Amino acid sequence: MEKTKLNIDIKEEQKKAQENITRQGLRVLVCAGTGCVANGSLKVIEKFKELGADVSVLTDYDKMTIVPTGCHGFCEQGVLVVIPDKHVTYVKVKEKDVEEIYESHIKNNKPVERLMYVDPKTHQHVQDDEHINFYAKQTRTALANCGNINAECIDEAIAVRGYEALSNVLEENNPEAVIETIEKSGLRGRGGGGFPTGRKWRFTAANRGGKSYVVCNGDEGDPGAFMDRSVMEGDPHKLLEGMAIAAFAIGADEGYIYVRAEYPLAIKRLRKAIADAEARNFLGKNIMGSDFSFEIHIKEGAGAFVCGEETALIASIEGERGMPRPKPPFPANKGLFGRPTLINNVETLANVPVIILKGAEWFSQMGTETSKGTKTFALTGEVNNTGLIEVPMGTTLREIVFDIGGGMRDGKKFKAVQIGGPSGGCLTEEHLDIPMDYDNLIKAGAMVGSGGLVVMSDKTCIVEVARFFMNFTQNESCGKCVPCREGTKNMLKILEKIVAGKGEMKDLDTLEELAHAVKDGSLCGLGKTAPNPVLSTLKYFRDEYIAHIKDKKCPAGVCTAMKKVVINEDLCKGCTKCARTCPVGAISGTVKQPHHIDQSKCIKCEACFTSCPFRAIVLE
Amino acid sequence: MSVENHHVVDTSKLDEIISTCGGKKSNLIAMLQKVQEVYRYLPEDAMIYIGTKVEGLSPATVFGVATFYAQFSLQPKGKFEIKVCDGTACHVRGSMPVLNAIRAKLNMQEGQLTSESGLFSLETVSCLGACGLAPVVVINDKVYPQMTSDAITIVLDTLIKEEN
């Protein structure tokens, strides 16, 4: 196939962009992702700008530039301020701290120790990312630029090789070779299913000729997962480039990004990125002077979890109720507006440019036999370091929870990890050392899913968590097919009954029977995976279910129906504080005499528990 | 975002919304989002108007779409829209006590969307993607991180005070 002569020299553009960055002088990166903005990063940025106007004080630089970046991943420690040239990462920075950083570190080269990260194990201050365990153990590929560049500036993306892969692909002008590279890399869908990406591209490319579409699934609905949000906010150009490469490979000229309405910042940054890329002719008509044209639209979702399912997502883009359609026909043959459509998840597409640049072999060296590359996980729950991480496939749960995550918070005991959201399952202590990849997790009764990892301690009630997920899927069931609509409702009823202390042993059998019926009979992925949290908790924590049913006890002390609030008469001084606090008047007693709680009136709100100055109130 | 309080539907405004969305039925969701921005909910007359006016739609289809998606409300929402995140991370770190504290403070029952005064509306959402800051509450697009029953009460007090 003949090579295409392009009218844009990307290497030249890159050089110019890099020179621009050098001219910025001392770069101060301030995280402006959703998390840090909530913690006040915009004020931090303003303050820095105010101070930085006086450049005469800088010794080694002629100026200082404040760079608002995308998410660094370490959201709980926000606002994060990174000064790469000074090898420092400051955490929990507030507006009032900015002056000290500026005066002490930027002007006088004296790092501000009190604003550095404190290692939860050694209690030492740590100066830079390389020594913060949370970052040191990660391998960032899809998230490589998130937090290092200004997400709203296309030049910064170009400086870190943005659009170079697209340029190479257009120059080579060989769509077949692109598909082959993706196939060889072993990349699998990061949205949950893990379907081989290259194969999906090939199926869609087989229908080349007429109108076809590339759709990016940014409907990140799994509670507890936010990697796609971070990519869209922190490095939107990588996603656009990935989509353009996919479109070139399969012969599409139009694309849609479907984003949840809950992500307003991502929508804003994507819109800007699309406009900037069009202005540079990296998107639009005859990209870089080639024959290839590609335009991208944004579609905002309206809050329906089921729209993460590809056929439901298509229905939603078409303006209809987001209900799944039976497959076949697969979207590769008959998708959006009845045309062949390639649907990939955000993270999947973000991996594409780097695979093209560094080669399939480089990518496939990372990971395990069947799962190549890296995977992002949203690490949350009862661990010390919560945030967004990216590790090679095959990393063990132990490394994630105890090294990167810094162990359990408040000295709590590790009980389980819930992985893959409402479609996933639980992993327990016995799974801490299995290499995490698509297939091992399926074997363990869980799934990678979108990569939400919620760490749970002995203070988390497993049965309540199962009820929580079932409540979620039941709410989100679109109602089209009977097994999902009726099955999830009845499973939820049983779980509510158990949590309320009214369960019977035979309920467990019914629950399991229903779970299998829903799993086997449902139309789409939502229903097929909805019973997973129940099945996996029944498998690993049956004891807890039985404790709720037979002993009417919640071992974690969470389920209110089984809680009892009592006053320890030996400790009670009769100060009457609790009696005055109780909203339902359940506590009685005379001054300076031990008080008493009327269990028939008590609503277990624990208001008395927090009010008692003598710790005389006990939860049983 | 301009918010109007009257519930009489201004058809010229609806025509404007329809035309910015290209009058295409595939943009129905975007149209409804814009309508909700104006009225803080979807007035029945607006849905009927769009369903009659846009080619390929019917009022029934519009109603079907409006009731399918959680974002759309058929009842007026408050001036302050409170969203309590009850995603997994927030749930595990105690979003329910925060929700209960809001209900207690605003004197709202379970299932009640808007407070008596019409000032606040309250809903739970599945995940706002700010899991590192759990539990999270969002009031009119402003994110309040790491909430507790006490902290949210202070936030609400401030809002109520400002309003008076």
Q: What is the pLDDT of residue A472?
A: 93
Residue B6: pLDDT over 80? no
Which residue in A has a C-alpha nearest to residue B143's C-alpha? A38
Residues A113-137, mean pLDDT to the nearest whole number: 89
Percent of all residues in chain A with a pLDDT value above 70, rounded to a whole number: 99
CB-CB under 8 Å, B134 with A223: no
Residues A158-180, mean pLDDT to the nearest whole number: 97
Q: In chain B, which residues touch A (CB < 8 A)?
A: 24-30, 32-33, 61, 64-65, 68-72, 86-89, 91-93, 100, 125-134, 136, 141-145
Q: What is the pLDDT of residue B87?
A: 85
Residue A494 CB contacts under 8 Å (≥ 6 apart), including other chains: A503, A507, A510, A511, A514
Confidence of residue A24 (pLDDT cuts 50, 70, 90): confident
- CATH code: domain A462-549 is 1.20.1440.230
Which residue in A has a C-alpha nearest to residue B68's C-alpha? A321
CB-CB under 8 Å, B126 with A223: yes
Q: What is the pLDDT of residue A57?
A: 59
**What 3 state SS string does A378-420 have?**
EEEECECCCEEEEEECCCEHHHHHHHHCCCEHHHCCEEEEEEC
Q: What is the pLDDT of residue A340?
A: 98
Confidence of residue A53 (pLDDT cuts 50, 70, 90): low
Residues A513-536, mean pLDDT to the nearest whole number: 95
Q: What is the pLDDT of residue B5?
A: 45
Residue B4: pLDDT over 60? no
Name the residue among A75, A220, A337 with its Cβ closest to that of B132.
A75
Radius of gyration of chain A (CA): 27
> Using a CB-CB distance cutoff of 8 angstroms, which residues of chain A are in contact with residue B86?
223
Residue A198: strand, helix, or coil: helix
Residues A330-357, mean pLDDT to the nearest whole number: 97
> Using a CB-CB distance cutoff of 8 angstroms, which residues of chain A are in contact with residue B145?
35, 38-39
CB-CB under 8 Å, A261 with B33: yes
Count chain A–chain B contacts defined by CB atoms under 8 A: 142
Mean pLDDT check: name the lowest of A91-100, A237-246, A577-586: A577-586
Residues A20-25, mean pLDDT to the nearest whole number: 89
CB-CB under 8 Å, A224 with B24: no
Q: How far is A480 from chain B (nearest CA, A)?
A: 12
Name the residue among B29, B70, B92 with its Cβ closest to that of A382.
B92
Percent of all residues in chain A with a pLDDT value above 90, rounded to a whole number: 76
> Using a CB-CB distance cutoff of 8 angstroms, which residues of chain A are in contact with residue B141?
264
Instruction: Provide the residue type at A129 as one letter.
Output: D
How high is the mean pLDDT of chain A?
A: 93
Residue A381: pLDDT over 90? no
pLDDT single digits (tens) A259-276: 998 898 999 999 999 999
Angle at A557 between CA A455 and CA A600, to 5 degrees: 150
Which residue in A has a C-alpha nearest to residue B138's C-alpha? A38
* CATH 1.10.10 location in chain B: 11-68
* CATH 1.20.1440.230 location in chain A: 462-549
Residues A169-195, mean pLDDT to the nearest whole number: 95
Question: DSSP states of B112-132 as a string?
Answer: --B-TTSSEEEEEES--S-GG
CB-CB under 8 Å, A304 with B143: no
> Using a CB-CB distance cutoff of 8 angstroms, which residues of chain A are in contact with residue B130?
34-35, 38, 75, 226
Confidence of residue A138 (pLDDT cuts 50, 70, 90): very high
Q: What is the pLDDT of residue A129?
A: 81
pTM of the model: 0.91
CA–CA dist A523, A326 (Å, integer): 7
Q: Name the maximum alpha-carbon separation found in chain B.
A: 52
For A595, phi then psi, to 5°, come to: -95, 175
CATH superfamily of A10-129: Glutaredoxin (3.40.30.10)
Q: How far is A528 from chain B (nearest CA, A)?
A: 20
Residues A200-209, mean pLDDT to the nearest whole number: 96
Which residue in A has a C-alpha nearest to residue B100's C-alpha? A605
Q: What is the pLDDT of residue B3?
A: 44
Residue A61: pLDDT over 80? no
Domain A154-363 has what CATH class?
Answer: alpha beta
Q: What is the pLDDT of residue A59?
A: 61
Assembly ipTM: 0.87
pLDDT single digits (tens) B40-88: 899 999 999 999 999 999 999 999 999 999 999 999 899 999 999 988 8
Mutation test of the interface with chain A: which of B58, B68, B124, choosing the one with the most A Cβ atoms within 10 A? B68
Mutation test of the interface with chain B: which of A454, A461, A480, choosing the one with the most B Cβ atoms within 10 A? A454
Q: Which fold has domain B80-163?
A: Glutaredoxin (3.40.30)
Q: What is the pLDDT of residue A262?
A: 84
Residues B101-125, mean pLDDT to the nearest whole number: 91
Domain A374-457 has what CATH class?
Answer: alpha beta
CB-CB under 8 Å, A75 with B130: yes
CA–CA dist A194, A214 (Å, integer): 18
CB-CB under 8 Å, B24 with A302: no
DSSP label of A113: G
CB-CB under 8 Å, B126 with A476: yes
Q: What is the pLDDT of residue A471?
A: 93
Cβ–Cβ < 8 Å for B102, A198:
no
Name the residue among B27, B88, B131 with its Cβ closest to that of A386.
B131
Q: How far is A524 from chain B (nearest CA, A)?
A: 17
Q: How far is B136 from chain A (nearest CA, A)?
A: 10
CB-CB under 8 Å, A454 with B92: yes
Mutation test of the interface with chain B: which of A41, A79, A321, choosing the one with the most B Cβ atoms within 10 A? A321
Sign of CA dihedral A268, A272, A277, A278: positive
Residue A380: pLDDT over 70? yes
Q: How far is B15 from chain A (nearest CA, A)?
A: 18
CA–CA dist A87, A72 (Å, integer): 15
CB-CB under 8 Å, A320 with B65: yes
Q: What is the pLDDT of residue B1?
A: 39
Residue A451: pLDDT over 60? yes
Residues A212-241, mean pLDDT to the nearest whole number: 94
- CATH code: domain A564-619 is 3.30.70.20
Residues A445-474, mean pLDDT to the nearest whole number: 91
Residue A369: pLDDT over 70? yes
Name the residue among B33, B88, B100 with its Cβ closest to that of A421.
B88
Residue A447: pLDDT over 70? yes
Which residue in B has a C-alpha nearest to residue A74's C-alpha? B132
CB-CB under 8 Å, B126 with A468: no
Sign of CA dihedral A451, A452, A458, A462: negative
Q: Is B11-68 in CATH node 1.10.10?
A: yes
Mutation test of the interface with chain A: which of B47, B92, B98, choosing the one with the most A Cβ atoms within 10 A? B92
Q: How far is A321 from chain B (nearest CA, A)?
A: 5
